[in-house]
Amino acid sequence: MSLIGKLKFVSSKREVVINPVVLRRNKLAAKLAEQLQAATAQRQGIAYAPKRTSMITNEVGERVAVVSDKRFKEWYWMTSTNKINLCVRYGSKTLELAKGKNAIELNTQDELIDTLTVLQQAVLSGELDDAIAAASDKLRAGFGK
């Protein structure tokens, strides 16, 4: 049997419009991945600074790619009782994770990393769709006249 004969062929067409719910899930999951990388780097004692590439025009008039640090803010902080609080943000809005609750209290850095992993899986499985939709609506309302 030939090598190409082992492949499964299907008739498919790429979707032009992505479902907005899936788009929001993926956006939040990517941000959670960044927070997870930051928490892992912090546990290892390494400074974390995500990079972004932008195109600028130099003095000669050529367009060149420049790598710079991306603005990054951690979603977790230490409280006065030496606990770690973690909030989940969608854009500039904090998600309400439970009725009237917007943060998760954790004891250790390892627990923070585990919680970020669980949150990322929950977002991808659609468990936070209602909270994401509410935050998205609040964001969109701020742009209206």
In a domain, 132, yes or no: yes
Examine residue 3 and state whether it is found in any structural domain, yes or no: no
Owning domain of residue 113: 19-143
pLDDT at 2 over 80: no
- Has residue 115 been placed in a domain? yes
**What predicted TM-score, i.e. pTM, was given to this entire model?**
0.78
The beta strand positions in 58-136, using DSSP E, are 63-69, 76-78, 84-87, 89-90, 93-94, 103-106
**Domain annotation covers residue 8:** no
What total number of domains does the chain contain?
1
* pLDDT value of position 123: 94
65-105 pLDDT, tens digit per residue, is 999 999 899 999 999 999 999 999 998 899 998 899 999 99
pLDDT grade for 145, boundaries at 50, 70 and 90: low
